[in-house]
Amino acid sequence: MRAMSDRTFEWPTMLLLVVTYIVWAVGTILWGDRAVLSLLLTAVAIAQFSSLQHEVLHGHPFRNQWFNEALVFPALTLVVPYQRFRDTHLQHHYDPALTDPYDDPESNYLDPKVWENLPQLGKWLLRMNNTLLGRMILGPALGLWGFIKADFYAARNGDLRVGRAWALNGVGVVLVLIWLLKVGTMPLWAYAFAAYLGFSLLKIRTFLEHRAHEVCRARTVVIEDRGPLALLFLNNNYHVVHHMHPAVPWYRLPALYAARRDHFLRRNDSYVYANYWEIFRKYLLRTKDPVPHPVWPVKKAPEPDC
């Protein structure tokens, strides 16, 4: 998807990518008597890097996609190959399938029949995962387990695209390890923990991006936040705007939303929150949604205004 831009490249994205690499480098070097700061800086940089990878897969900051993807080749996140992130996320952008437990790779809902057959421990873990605190603590482990398990079976069954993505990710991991062993002072276990913290931060963004709803245009949220989390997530809190205009760069989303706020809120049936503080206050320890999909099966036929 090509960016809607009249410039050769988008300098805000490129500048933020450079800053993110600098923060990541500093974070991995500060280990020692500044271990806590080292962890926090590295985790934030990894989360920001993942947000920038999302920007890249939508065709930013350059017109040349090969060059874009080269910019985010190092595997700072360790265990999510960029090409798998790209392919599954672009599949997720088929709005008629949003929240579908089978056809939406980013859905947190289960087929009710699958839910009924889960052991009690599994049900408890998934219920906890549907609170914001649980999503931040358990979500990275549960999500990565499901993601890696599915890719393992796909690669074993001969999906060369999946195998190639993991092979390239291995090269990206080697680049990270060379930096950590030759330049950084952060131990490998600490870096793995920082990566987990980075995923935890990202779970704040994805916690309620989509809801189960019979009308597909009403499944995607708006969070009217302009604070540090909005920057960390590259304004994907204006998520319905992003889904309707996936080629628009991150720094243009707030203005686009402000200019047509009533239109977007009509489109998503007023699925809106004022800020992330409201979400923490409401759902830190409470579930927002059931795990079994409440309006299953999901309506698949494209709607005129979906």
- Give the whole-angstrom CA distance, residue 57 versus residue 87: 9
> Residue 7 above 90 pLDDT?
no
- Give the whole-angstrom CA distance, residue 57 versus residue 211: 24
> Residue 149 above 80 pLDDT?
yes
- Reported as a single tens digit per residue, the pLDDT across 29-72 is 999 999 999 999 999 999 999 999 999 999 999 999 999 999 99
Q: Tell me what pLDDT residue 301 has.
A: 67
- Give the whole-angstrom CA distance, residue 78 versus residue 150: 17
Residue showing tokens 């540090």: 228
- Give the whole-angstrom CA distance, residue 94 versus residue 90: 7
- Give the whole-angstrom CA distance, residue 53 versus residue 249: 12
Closest to 123 measured CA to CA, from 291, 294, 293, 300:
291
**Average per-residue pLDDT in the chain?**
95
> Residue 2 above 70 pLDDT?
no
- Reported as a single tens digit per residue, the pLDDT across 185-205 is 999 999 999 999 999 999 999
Helices of type H across 183-285? 188-206, 228-232, 239-244, 253-259, 261-267, 276-283
Could you tell me if 35 and 87 are in contact, meaning their C-beta atoms sit under 8 angstroms apart?
A: no
DSSP E strand boundaries for the chain: 222-223, 272-273
- Reported as a single tens digit per residue, the pLDDT across 83-142 is 999 999 999 999 999 999 999 999 999 999 999 999 999 999 999 999 999 999 999 999
> Residue 20 above 90 pLDDT?
yes
Could you tell me if 12 and 251 are in contact, meaning their C-beta atoms sit under 8 angstroms apart?
A: yes
Q: Tell me what pLDDT residue 291 has.
A: 98
Could you tell me if 288 and 209 are in contact, meaning their C-beta atoms sit under 8 angstroms apart?
A: no
Task: State the chain's maximal CA–CA distance in angstroms.
Answer: 59
Closest to 111 measured CA to CA, from 305, 292, 251, 295:
292
Residue showing tokens 């936040």: 225
| 3-state DSSP assignment of residue 184 | coil
Backbone φ and ψ of 220, nearest 5°: -120, 135
Backbone φ and ψ of 216, nearest 5°: -65, -30
HEC profile for 265-284?
Answer: HHHCCCCEECCHHHHHHHHC
> Residue 4 above 70 pLDDT?
no
> Residue 266 above 70 pLDDT?
yes
Q: Tell me what pLDDT residue 175 has.
A: 98
